[in-house]
Copies of this chain bind each other. A is one copy, B any other.
Amino acid sequence: MSVVKSTLSDDARKVVGEALQGALVDLVDLSLVAKQVHWNIIGPRFRSVHLQLDDVVDTARAYADTVAERASAIGVSPDGRAETVAKTSGIDTVQDNWIKDAEVVRVVTDALGAVIARMRERIRVTDEPDPVSQDILIGLTADLEKHHWMFQAESA
C-alpha cells in the first residue's frame, strides 16, 4: 500500500519507480567511490584530480537527493541504505589503499560510463509512463556525460 498517492497508474509507477530506485543507488555509490579515490589518490596530478572528484561528488549527491524525492513524489519509497547500495550498485568495486592518479582517472571514467549506460536505458523506459521523471533523468545524464568527457580527455 502506498502512503503517498500518485498521479501515475500502477503500471507506470512500477516502471518509473524501478528506474528511480536504480538511479538512486548508482548515484549514492558514485558519490562514495568518488570520495574514496578523492582521499586515496597519489601522483603528480594529485591536486587537480582531487578537486575534480569533489565536483563529481557534488553532482552525485545533488541528483541522488532529487531522484529519491522524485520517487517519494510518485508514491514509491526510496532505498539508499549502505547495504542496498553495496548489493545493487552498477559500479564495480573500487580497490582499497592508495591509488595512482592515472588509475583514478581510469576507474572514475569506467564508473561514470557504467552509470551513464544504465541512465540511458532508464530515459528510454520512462519516456512513455512519466515525462516528468524522464526529464530529471535527462538532466542528470547531461551532467554525468560532461564529467565523463572531462575524465576521458584527461587520459587522452
Determine if A14 is an interface residue (Cβ-Cβ < 8 Å): no
A86 CB contacts on chain B under 8 angstroms: 82-83, 85-86
Q: Knowing A52-B47, A131-B123, A132-B141 touch, does A93 contact B81 (C-beta < 8 A)? A: yes
Most chain-B CB neighbours within 10 Å: which of A3, A29, A78, A82? Answer: A82
Which residue of B has the minimal Cβ distance to A51? B47
Contact of A79 among B65, B96, B100, B156 (CB under 8 A): B96
Determine if A138 is an interface residue (Cβ-Cβ < 8 Å): yes
Could you tell me the distance between the alpha carbons of A80 and B32 in the complex, rounded to whole angstroms?
7
Interface 0/1 of A122-147, CB less than 8 Å to B = 01000100011011101101100110
